[in-house]
Structure 1
Amino acid sequence: MLVLLPPSEGKYAPRRGAPLDLDALRSPGLGPARRRVLDALVAVCRDDPDAAAAALDLGPTQRDLVSRNAGLATAPTARADRVYTGVLYDALDLASLDAGAKRRAGRRVAVVSALLGLVAPGDRIPAYRLSGQSVLPGLGPVAGVWREALGPAVRDALGTGLLVDLRSSAYAAFWRPEPDLAGRTATVRVLHEQDGRRSVVSHFNKATKGRIVRALLEHGADPRTPAALAGTVRDLGWTVEEHDQGARGTRLDVVVRAL
């Protein structure tokens, strides 16, 4: 099983640690694409801060993030599971897992990153600001770079297991599973039900996804099909509705009524 997560917009900025080593990251085949994106981001933030702020959709009070990006090549790094913060990652709380669950997380969890493509929890990364919808001068849409490069890396990390795709729409655009993966791909949507009405609420969506991944890692289950995943998540206490398989996999709706 491989669980694809979106990154967080907010990040913990390490104060000390070795600088970024692209060759040490998981999925070394992404090295050339990582270098292209990193160099383009650093260059615009260093040489044209106004253009960088516009490209990154930063307001006047966020200009420090431009300076941070300009120094990414030498900035301190920490484990990705410490750098990524926010609702999903707080609910997942990888640091508090027992040893066995942490080992499973290292093999079964990956973050789709606008800067680095595919990131393992133990990869050492700096705090950066770059979104999945960013367009960088001299590079173009970062999604286009990853659309060409990400597929082989995901397939290699996945092997013969089940792909559990929890990415948000911006990061889902980086790569979509090809038809031959449809039978072993599950996407998960979280619906908040209140007074008989259902809607997607960002906070519920992120928190519930984090809790589900944590529960799967703690349980140790390794479902091989979307139906088996749905059954496991039900056994772990959630209400799950399974839809018919589509061209890009099977959607599972997790219905929650309280956070």
Structure 2
Amino acid sequence: MLVLLPPSEGKASSGRGAPLKLESLSLPALTEARETVLGELVELCAGDEDKAREVLGLSEGLRGEVAKNAELRTAGARPAGEIYTGVLYDALDLATLDPAARRRAARSLLVFSGLWGAVRVTDRIPSYRCSMGVRLPGLGALGAFWRAPMAAALPEAAGDGLVLDLRSAAYATAWKPKGEVAGRTATVRVLHAPTRKVVSHFNKATKGRIVRSLLSAGTAPSGPAELVEALRELGYEVEAQAPAKAGQAWVMDVLVEEIH
């Protein structure tokens, strides 16, 4: 099982670990593209601070993120699972998983990123600010930039098992499963059970809990249909829509009573 996650806008500090080593990151086929984006981002942020803040969509209160990006090559690095914070990652709470579940997380979780393309939670990265929606001056929209490198790297990462796609729309632009990979991919919507309306804040928390439940239970569904049954056994109310034709992903609705 491969689980595709969005990153978080907020991130923990880099800490005092050894600096980034691009060649040590998972999915080595992305190394050249990572170097390109990293170089563009560092150059942008080491120059005109106001321009960098505008490009990155940062408020005045986040001005310090520009200086942080300028030092990415020398900043301390930590496991990505410690860098990413926010609602989904709070609910996932990797640090409190038992050892077996943490090993499963290391194998199965892949976090998409405007800067790195995608990383495993064990990959050591510095704290940064660069969303997939950013248009860097020399590269254009990052979602479009990453499509070719990701198309080369992700099918191998997906292997021959289930792909559980929990990414937000901006990060889904970087790679869309195709062909037989799409047929074993499941996307998830979180709906308020009484109204069938999509929820926002609770959407992220629910997705984090779903991943935690699967990792903790050691469940390894081989495809979307098996995932539906596994989630129901774990106590989730799930409705699933099989694709209308080949080459499309399954759509799963997880129904929740709470929306806060």
Which interval holds the TM-score relative to the shorter structure?
Answer: over 0.9
| Aligned partner of 1:234 among 232, 237, 250 | 232
| 1:107 aligned residue | 107
**Equivalent runs, 1:124-139 vs 2, <5 Å:** 124-139=124-139
Matched, 1:141 2:144: no
Question: Given the alignment of the two structures, is residue 199 of structure 1 paired with residue 200 of structure 2, yes or no?
Answer: no
Equivalent residue in structure 2 for 1:211, among 209, 212, 227: 209
Q: How does 1:247-258 map to 2 (within 5 A)?
A: 247-258=247-258
* 8 Å CA contact 1:111, 1:119 repeated in 2: yes
Count residues with an aligned counterpart: 257
State the one-letter code of the partner of 1:258.
E
Offset of residue 44 of structure 1: 0.6
> TM-score, normalised on structure 1?
0.97
Provide the rounded CA distance (Å) in 1 between the counterparts of 2:73 and 2:145.
20
Q: CA deviation at 1:168?
A: 0.2
**TM-score under structure 2 length normalisation:** 0.96
Give deviations 1:170-220, integer Å, cap 9, x for gaps. Answer: 000111011222221111111123xx3122222110000000000100111
Other structure's SS at 1:164 match: strand
Shift of 1:89: 0.2
Partner of 1:50: 50
Structure 1 stretches of at least 4 aligned residues deviating more than 6 Å after TM superposition:
none
Deviations 1:94-117 (A, max 9, x none): 111111111111111110111101
Q: Which runs of 5+ in 2 are unaligned?
A: none
What is the DSSP-based 3-state SS (H/G/I as helix, E as strand, rest coil) of the residue aligned with 1:69? Answer: helix
User: Counterparts of 2:10 and 2:248 in 1: how far apart (Å)?
Assistant: 30
Indicate the SS of the match to 1:190. Answer: strand
Q: Within 2, Cα distance between the matches of 1:242 and 1:209?
A: 16
Equivalent pair of 1:118/1:153 in contact (CA under 8 Å) = no
> What are the equivalent positions in structure 2 for 1:171-186 lying under 5 Å apart?
171-186=171-186
C-alpha RMSD of matched pairs (Å) = 1.1
C-alpha displacement of 1:151:
2.1
| Letter in structure 2 aligned against 1:122 | T
- Report the secondary structure of 1:110's partner residue: strand
Q: Check conservation: 1:182, 1:245, Cα contact below 8 A.
A: no
Mean alpha-carbon deviation: is it higher for 169-178 or for 152-161?
152-161
| Residue in 1 that maps onto 2:220 | 222
Question: Aligned AA for 2:197?
Answer: S
CA distance in 2, matches of 1:72, 1:137: 18
Structure 1 unaligned spans of 5+: none
Are the counterparts in 2 of residues 192 and 204 from structure 1 also a CA contact under 8 Å? no
Contact 1:162-1:223 at 8 Å conserved across structures:
yes
- Percent identical: 52
* Cα distance in structure 2, aligned partners of 1:20 and 1:192: 41
Write the letter of the residue equivalent to 1:242: A
